[in-house]
Amino acid sequence: MLAGRLCVLLISIIATFLAFNPNSTVLGLVAYAWAGFGAAFGPLVLISLFSRKATWHGALAGMLTGTVVLVVWQYLGLGKYMYEIVPGFLSNFLVVFIMSYFFKQENQEILTQFDDMKQIVKDKSL
């Protein structure tokens, strides 16, 4: 209970400092947070759903790349020209494909689960 209360207090203090910054808006913070989620996880989810070739190597490299590109893009001030999620998403997508090409999916259990689920979806759509 004490830990929960301390976390609420800490978040309140951080929110207060953010509120005093005239250049900071809630919408801007939320947009940046969603860009972070999209750049880190979006391509990985899509590739995992539609490709049996995705590997954990590609997933990890893609998540890191998408996040780093997003942060660097924002830090350099390029966010005013293009929303940060676009270069982060694209770089993540590209890295997952490249890494999954070099590190093949060899886990037979994962491949079987993917094929089984694909068949279930195919059967349900008929």
Ordered by start, the domain boundaries in the chain are: 25-121
The tens place of each residue's pLDDT in the chain, 126 residues long, gives: 888 888 889 888 877 877 777 676 777 778 888 999 999 999 999 998 888 888 999 999 999 999 999 999 999 999 889 999 999 999 999 999 999 889 988 888 888 888 988 888 888 876
DSSP-assigned letters across all residues of the chain: -HHHHHHHHHHHHHHHHHHH-TT--HHHHHHHHHHHHHHHHHHHHHHHHH-TT--HHHHHHHHHHHHHHHHHHHHTTGGGTS-THHHHHHHHHHHHHHHHHHS----HHHHHHHHHHHHHHHHHH-
**Given this model, what pLDDT does residue 53 score?**
85
**Given this model, what pLDDT does residue 126 score?**
67
Q: Are 96 and 59 in contact (CB under 8 A)?
A: yes
**Given this model, what pLDDT does residue 12 score?**
85
Statement: the pTM of the whole predicted model exceeds 0.85: no
Distance of CA 72 to the CA centre of its chain: 15
**Given this model, what pLDDT does residue 90 score?**
96
